[in-house]
Structure 1
Amino acid sequence: MKHEEKTQLQKGAAGWFLLATLGVSYVISGSFAGWNFGFAVTNWFGMVIAVALMGLMYFCLVLCLAEMSAALPSAAGGYRISRKVMGDTGGFATALAVLLEYSIAPAAIVIFIGQYIEALWGINGPLVYAVFYVVFIGVHLVGVGEALRFMLVVTVFAVLAIVVTLLALGPHFSLSNLAASSYGASTEPNLFSFDVVSVWAAFPFAMWLFLAVEGVPLAAEEAKDPAVDLPRGIIGAMLFLLVSAVLIVVFIPGAASSQQVGDYGAPLVDALKHVFGEESVLADVVNLVGLAGLIASFFSIIFGYSRLVFAMSREGYLPRFMSAISSRKVPHWALIIPGVIGFICSLSGKGELMINIAVIGATLSYALQSVSYILLKRDYAELHRPYRAPGGQKTAYVTLVLSLLALTSCFAYDLVAALIALTLMGLGVGYYVLLGQKRA
Structure 2
Amino acid sequence: MSRSSEVNAKVAGATYTRAGKDYFEKRGLTRSAGIWGLWGLAVAAVISGDFSGWNFGIDFAGFGGMLIAFAILVVMYYGMIFSIGEMAAAMPHTGGAYSFARSAMGPWGGLVTGAAETIEYVATTAVIVYFSASYADAITSELLGVSLPAWVWWAILYAAFVGLNAAGAAISFRFAIVVSVISIGIIVVFSIMALASGAFQWANLWDIAPDPGQTEFLPHGVLPILFALPFAMWFFLGIEELPLAAEESHNPVRDIPRAGFWARGTLIVTGLLVLFLNTGVIGAEATGVAGEPLLDGFRAIVGDEAAAVLALLALVGLLASLQGIMFAYGRNMYSLSRAGYYPQFLSLTGKRRTPWVSLLVGAVIGFIALAILDTLAAFNEGAGAVAGAIVLNIAVWGAVLAYFLQMVSFVLLRKKLPDVERPYRSPWGIPGAVIAAAIAALIFVGFLLNPTFLPAIIAIVVVYIIILAGFALFFRHRLVLSPEEEYALSGGRHGDPQEEGYDAMEGEVFGDKR
* Cα root mean square deviation, aligned: 1.6
1:340-372 C-alpha deviation (Å, 9 max, x unpaired): 111111211443321111111110010100000
Q: 1: CA distance between counterparts of 2:131 and 2:300?
A: 22
Tell me which of 69, 73, 82 is aligned to 2:101.
Answer: 82
Number of the residue aligned with 1:18:
37
Structure 1, unpaired ranges of 5+: none
| C-alpha contact 1:170 1:255 (8 A) present in aligned 2 | no
Q: Which residue of 1 aligns with 2:354?
A: 330
Residues 24-74 of structure 1 show CA distances to partners (whole Å, capped at 9, x for unaligned) of 111111111111111111111111001111122122111111110011011
Q: CA deviation at 1:253?
A: 1.0
What residue number does 1:51 align with?
A: 70
- Whole-angstrom CA distance in 2 between matches of 1:408 and 1:119: 38
2:59 is equivalent to residue 8 of structure 1 = no
Q: CA deviation at 1:192?
A: 6.1
TM-score by length of structure 2 reads: 0.82
Which residue number corresponds to residue 415 of structure 1? 454
Secondary structure of residue in 1 paired with 2:250 = coil
Q: Aligned in 2, Cα 1:266/1:384: closer, same or farther, shift over 3 Å?
A: same
Match of 1:345 in 2: 369
> Does structure 1 residue 161 correspond to structure 2 residue 204?
no
Which is higher, the Rg of structure 1 or of structure 2? Answer: 2
1:263 and 2:289 matched: yes
The answer on whether the counterparts of 1:256 and 1:275 sit within 8 Å (CA) in structure 2 is: no
**What is the aligned partner in structure 2 of residue 424 from structure 1?**
463
Partner of 1:365: 402
Question: Matches of 2:300 and 2:320 in 1, distance apart?
Answer: 26
What's the counterpart of residue 144 of structure 1? Answer: 169
Range with greater deviation from structure 2 (203-212 or 347-356): 347-356
- Whole-angstrom CA distance in 1 between matches of 2:474 and 2:183: 43
1:91 and 2:110 matched: yes
Instruction: Tell me the residue number matched to 1:433.
Output: 472
* 1:107 and 2:126 correspond: yes
Q: How does 1:171-186 map to 2 (within 5 A)?
A: 171=196, 172-181=199-208, 184=210
Q: What residue identity is the alignment partner of 2:438?
A: V
Following superposition, the deviation at residue 193 of structure 1 comes to 5.9
Per-residue deviation at 1:277?
A: 2.9
Distance 1:188 1:91 in 2: 45
Helix, strand or coil: the match of 1:316? coil
Offset of residue 186 of structure 1: 6.2
Match 1:404 to one of 412, 428, 441: 441
Deviations 1:269-319 (A, max 9, x none): 10222233333x3x5433211101111111111111111111101111012
Measured in 1, the distance between the counterparts of 2:36 and 2:222 equals 38
Q: Distance in 2 between matches of 1:89 and 1:308?
A: 16
Alignment-derived partner of residue 56 in structure 2: 37
Paired AA for residue 178 in structure 1? L
TM-score between the two structures when normalised by the length of structure 1: 0.95
2:235 match: 209
AA of the residue aligned to 2:205: L
> Could you tell me how far apart the structure 2 residues matched to 1:382 and 1:287 are?
53
Are the aligned partners of 1:179 and 1:189 in contact in 2 as well (CA < 8 Å)? no
Which secondary structure does the structure 1 equivalent of 2:462 belong to? helix
- Give the count of matched residue pairs: 436
- The equivalent of 1:129 in structure 2 is 154
Which range moved further: 186-195 or 96-105? 186-195
2:82/2:428 contact within 8 Å kept: no
Shift of residue 400 of structure 1? Answer: 0.7
SS at match of 1:9: coil
Say which of 282, 303, 316 aligns to 2:327. 303
CA distance in 2, matches of 1:340, 1:326: 19
* Kept after mapping to 1: 8 A contact 2:60/2:220: no
